[in-house]
Amino acid sequence: MKKILAITFRDLRVRFASFVEWLFFLILPIVFTLVLSGGTGAPADNRVRLVVVDQANTSLSTELITALENSESVRPDLLSLDDAEYQFDSRRVSAMLIIPQGFAREALESGTLTLELRQQPNSLNALVAQRSVQAVISRVGQAVAIARNSLAEAEALRPFETDAARQTYFDDALESAQTLLAEAPDRLTETQGDTPDQIEYDPRANSSAGQLITWVFIPLIGLSELFAYERQKGTLRRILTTPTRKGTYLFGTIFGQVLIALGQMTLLVLFGILVMNLNWGQDVFGLAIMLVAGALAAAALGTMLGTFVKTTGQANGLSIMLGMVMALMGGCWYPLELFPEAVRSMVKVLPTTWAMQGLLDLVLRGQPWTAILPEAGVLLGFAAVFFVIGILRFKYE
Amino acid sequence: MPTILEVKDLVKKYGDFTAVKGISFNIQEGEIFSLLGPNGAGKTTTISVLSTLYAATSGDATIAGHSVSKDPMAVRKVIGVVPQEIALYEDLTARENLNFWGQMYSLSGKALKDRVEEILEQIGLTDKARDKVKTYSGGMKRRVNIGVGLLHKPSLLFMDEPTVGIDPQSRRAILDSVKDLNRQGMTVLYTTHYMEEAAELSNRVGIIDHGELIALGTQKELTRQVGEMETLVLHVDEMQDVQRLAKAVEALEMVRHAEVSDHSVTAIVPEAEEALAPAVTKANELGIKIRSVDIREPNLEAVFLHLTGRALRD
Ligand SMILES: Nc1ncnc2c1ncn2[C@@H]1O[C@H](COP(=O)(O)OP(=O)(O)OP(=O)(O)O)[C@@H](O)[C@H]1O
Ligand SMILES: [Mg+2]
């Protein structure tokens, strides 16, 4: 046990021998987190801008725009058609909504209502806008459906004497349905089973989680470099001529690096909480599970790679390249939702993908620790496989 | 004197290549034993097997009664190893290195702390103990490398070419410290390809070549094998034709072999004094001026030459 601590302590000393290491340990991760999140500005309006052209100018269109304004994900910006088209064509805005003439209650009742939403291709923001517009419309549409249903029910009980009475009844029913739906807005989102999952994206949370994974994975994969160094220098051979077991050496070395990684992650999480106002602390237990599982998976990968590389140079290049590619493909730099479906299922073979999803579950979606168990389980599975291969293949000579 | 190391028919193969071809020898307690051999002879391989790093392909060795193959942990507690390469952490200081390796040798607490300071004193690096090893000169690194092998006061110390690539002064210091350690009771297995080192240090020498132990014994015993040849060295001035002198000397009846090395002719002869006068005469005849003359007793270099037909140095 004392030896394990001695080896761990040596890891610390060797790792932080040069100032450059601090660059990778804290400075770069923080800089990248800030840059990719667009600054620390916590309460700034992060909603996606949606250009709206109102050609109808009816009470219904105003109602729709108000509903959009109350949305948490889009910020409607009223423009003329020409201005809107110019902005859209020059890709300054990711989506534009045109409310055509005749967008009025009568059309709503007869079910012939149309809206035109133009989206930039492959744009996450456009997707966000589309989702919000759909939610708002369906809320309005649902109100009409409820009013129609209640009108039919009423008619079945007792036919209306005049058309005017019938219209009054419908208007009342619609109004109360709207009020009721407005009071329970959440229920709307929850009942939309046939639409794709709502994309949740917050540049700050994504960047904090993504950069954390990137900058922790790279040095952990770099464990392969430490093994290469020890083999090259002969310190590994020397250790094996002292009364120290192979297992003690391996465990101590890996444990040391994992410990450093956990320290680094804690600092980056604290940075996220204190400076960026992120909600990392919602489920501390879940967070601890995710961080440990992620660190183990990356350290195991480094151990396995260490058995394939010959020199420290190789190990260094490989760990930076692999770490970067895995982080990019795992959605740590850009949200996975931007990737085509096929790629999205392919990148499930990367531990970074699972680590990122698990962390987002916690920091962005505010889920409890039970929700990240699948991700943590997959990461631990990766860790087990990589460790077994790495330890079986480990060359001491 | 009890035997501390017993090597029996030791064979080590790397794949198809046999680096050590069944060697056997013993080392007595209190001895300095040298393995002398050229590059690639199998010295490091032998030490690696004896220090439990590599498993022997066949054969075995016992150290202080423990089998190297069956009880490596017990062996490791008894031996100290000074590897040929500088096996240190360059980014750590000398003291940090000694501390770490001391812990690997199961030292701890005050015993460790005291021992580290003692070693620093011994290798003369107390003042530089806070500097990173990578800032050290080759000789200083070598000294730390040796110090690590001494931490746990081993009863048998393996030293694998500890003087390679350093200045004469550091080399002198290292050779003296080996003799010091031996005087304090440490048994040493020393490998080298410098015959002078083997000659100066060891009680007994094993000559190893191509994985085989081709000769074994005290210096006297070994040199007797070559038939008590002596070496006569004639140093001449620059710009003189040494080649012609060497030819003329080799032509003399009593000279077995003559060789040119810069500005001198080395002749192997049974009696150097006897050959001296005729050699000088030849030089005068050729008009070559001799500046000085050396007569050397039979040496290990001559033994190696005699046994292999090659010079020890490549
Ligand atoms: N790991 C290895 N794999 C394959 N061959 C090896 C290995 N280590 C050494 N050899 C070969 O075994 C032979 C003996 O090598 P060894 O290092 O034991 O020689 P040495 O006497 O220590 O030489 P030197 O004076 O150069 O250190 C050499 O031919 C070398 O090329
Ligand atoms: Mg060697």
Local structure of B293: helix, strand or coil: strand
CA distance B218 to A20: 55
pLDDT value, residue A182: 62
Whether residue B52 and residue A238 make contact (CB cut-off 8 A), yes or no, is no
- B161 DSSP assignment: S
Local structure of B238: helix, strand or coil: coil
pLDDT value, residue A244: 92
Query: Given CB atoms, is A344 within the 8 Å cutoff of chain B?
Result: no
Instruction: Count Cβ atoms within 10 A of the Cβ of residue B279 and give its class: 0-12 exposed, 13-18 middle, 19 or more buried.
Output: buried
State the distance from the centre of ligand 2 to the C-alpha of B262, rounded, in angstroms: 28
* B51 pocket-lining for ligand 1 (C-beta < 6 Å): no
pLDDT value, residue A200: 63
Query: Given CB atoms, is A20 within the 8 Å cutoff of chain B?
Result: no
Instruction: Tell me the torsion sign for CA atoms A295, A299, A305, A311.
Output: positive
* B32 pocket-lining for ligand 1 (C-beta < 6 Å): no
Report the pLDDT averaged over residues B278-291: 87
Task: Return the ligand number nearest the Cα of B40.
Answer: 1
A vs B, Cβ pairs < 8 A, gives 69
* B193 pocket-lining for ligand 1 (C-beta < 6 Å): yes
pLDDT value, residue B125: 92
Domains in chain B (CATH in brackets) are 3-223 (3.40.50.300), 229-297 (3.30.70.100)
Whether residue A243 and residue B54 make contact (CB cut-off 8 A), yes or no, is no
Structural tokens at position A261 = 């990684």
Phi-psi region of A169 (alpha: psi -120 to 50; beta: other; left: phi over 0): alpha
Per-residue confidence band for B287, with pLDDT thresholds at 50, 70 and 90: confident
CA distance A297 to A291: 10
Atom 2 of ligand 1: nearest residue by CA position: B14
Instruction: Find the closest chain B residue to A19 by CA distance.
Output: B91
Which segments within chain B are labelled E, that is strand?
Answer: 3-14, 17-28, 32-36, 58-63, 66-67, 79-82, 156-160, 187-192, 204-209, 212-218, 230-236, 257-261, 264-269, 290-296
Beta bridge pairs of residue B34: B190, B205
Q: For chain A, what is the mean pLDDT?
A: 82
Q: CB under 8 Å to A308, separation ≥6 — which residues?
A: A224, A393
Give the residue ranges of DSSP H helices in A71-222: 81-89, 105-110, 124-157, 163-183, 185-191, 203-221
- One DSSP character per residue, B31-64 reads -EEEEE--TTSSHHHHHHHHTTSS--SEEEEEET
**Chain B residues close to A242, C-beta within 8 Å:** 76, 101, 104-105
Give the N- to C-terminal CA distance of chain A in Å, as an integer.
Answer: 24
**Chain A residues close to B48, C-beta within 8 Å:** 237
Instruction: Find the closest chain B residue to A237 by CA distance.
Output: B53
Atom 17 of ligand 1: nearest residue by CA position: B44
Give me the helix-helix angle, A223-233 and A312-329, nearest 10°.
170
Query: A269-274: long-range contacts (C-beta < 8 A, 24 or more apart)?
Result: A269/A212, A271/A30, A271/A33, A271/A208, A272/A33, A272/A208, A272/A212, A272/A363
Task: Using the CB atoms, write b or e for B156-186: b if 16+ within 10 Å.
Answer: bbbbbbbbeebeeebbebbbebbeebbeeeb
pLDDT greater at residue A120 or residue B84: B84
Query: Given CB atoms, is A241 within the 8 Å cutoff of chain B?
Result: yes
pLDDT greater at residue B205 or residue A143: B205
Which H helix or E strand runs over A315?
A: helix A312-329
pLDDT value, residue B107: 94
- Please list the ranges in chain A whose pLDDT falls under 50: 40-43, 184-198
Whether residue B100 and residue A241 make contact (CB cut-off 8 A), yes or no, is no
pLDDT value, residue B264: 85
Is the confidence at residue B5, as pLDDT, over 60? Answer: yes
Which H helix or E strand runs over B279?
A: helix B272-286
Q: CB under 8 Å to A153, separation ≥6 — which residues?
A: none
Fold held by A48-183 = D-Maltodextrin-Binding Protein; domain 2 (3.40.190)
Give the N- to C-terminal CA distance of chain B in Å, as an integer.
Answer: 37
Instruction: Tell me the torsion sign for CA atoms B162, B166, B172, B176.
Output: negative
Task: Using the CB atoms, write b or e for A50-65: b if 16+ within 10 Å.
Answer: bbbbbebebebbeebb
Is residue A355 within 8 Å of A214, Cβ to Cβ? no
pLDDT value, residue B91: 92
Instruction: Find the closest chain A residue to B154 by CA distance.
Output: A242
pTM over the 0.90 mark:
no
Is the confidence at residue B243, as pLDDT, over 80? Answer: yes
3-class DSSP string for A5-54: HHHHHHHHHHHCCCHHHHHHHHHHHHHHHHHHHCCCCCCCCCCEEEEEEE
Is residue B245 within 8 Å of B283, Cβ to Cβ? yes
**Chain B residues close to A252, C-beta within 8 Å:** none
Atom 24 of ligand 1: nearest residue by CA position: B39
Mutate to test the interface with B, among A13, A18, A238 (most CBs of B within 10 A): A238
Write out pLDDT tens, residues A190-212.
333 333 444 567 888 888 888 89
- A369 DSSP assignment: G
Per-residue confidence band for B269, with pLDDT thresholds at 50, 70 and 90: confident
Q: For chain B, what is the mean pLDDT?
A: 90
Whether residue A3 and residue B103 make contact (CB cut-off 8 A), yes or no, is yes
pLDDT value, residue A187: 33
Local structure of B157: helix, strand or coil: strand
State the distance from the centre of ligand 1 to the C-alpha of B13, rounded, in angstroms: 10
A257-261, B215-219, B241-245: least confidently modelled range: B241-245
Is the confidence at residue B129, as pLDDT, over 70? Answer: yes
State the distance from the centre of ligand 2 to the C-alpha of B163, rounded, in angstroms: 12
Share of chain B above pLDDT 70, in %: 98
Which H helix or E strand runs over B280?
A: helix B272-286
Number of the ligand 1 atom closest to the C-alpha atom of B20: 14
Write out pLDDT tens, residues A128-183.
778 777 777 777 667 777 777 777 777 777 777 777 887 787 778 777 777 766 65
pLDDT value, residue B313: 62
Phi-psi region of A272 (alpha: psi -120 to 50; beta: other; left: phi over 0): alpha
**Chain B residues close to A13, C-beta within 8 Å:** 89, 91-92, 96
Is residue B298 within 8 Å of B228, Cβ to Cβ? yes
pLDDT value, residue A180: 66
Give me the helix-helix angle, A124-157 and A163-183, nearest 10°.
140
Domain edges within chain A: 2-9+19-40+205-393, 48-183
CA distance B50 to B157: 11
CA distance A131 to A212: 29
Per-residue confidence band for B233, with pLDDT thresholds at 50, 70 and 90: confident
> What ipTM describes this predicted complex?
0.82
pLDDT greater at residue B81 or residue A81: B81
Report the pLDDT averaged over residues B140-152: 95
CA distance A347 to A201: 19
Phi then psi dihedrals of residue B182, to 5 deg: -65, -40
* B37 pocket-lining for ligand 1 (C-beta < 6 Å): yes
Angstrom CA distances, B20 to B11, B23, B41, B57, B162, stand at 5, 7, 8, 9, 21
Beta bridge pairs of residue B62: B6, B67
Is the confidence at residue B219, as pLDDT, over 70? Answer: yes
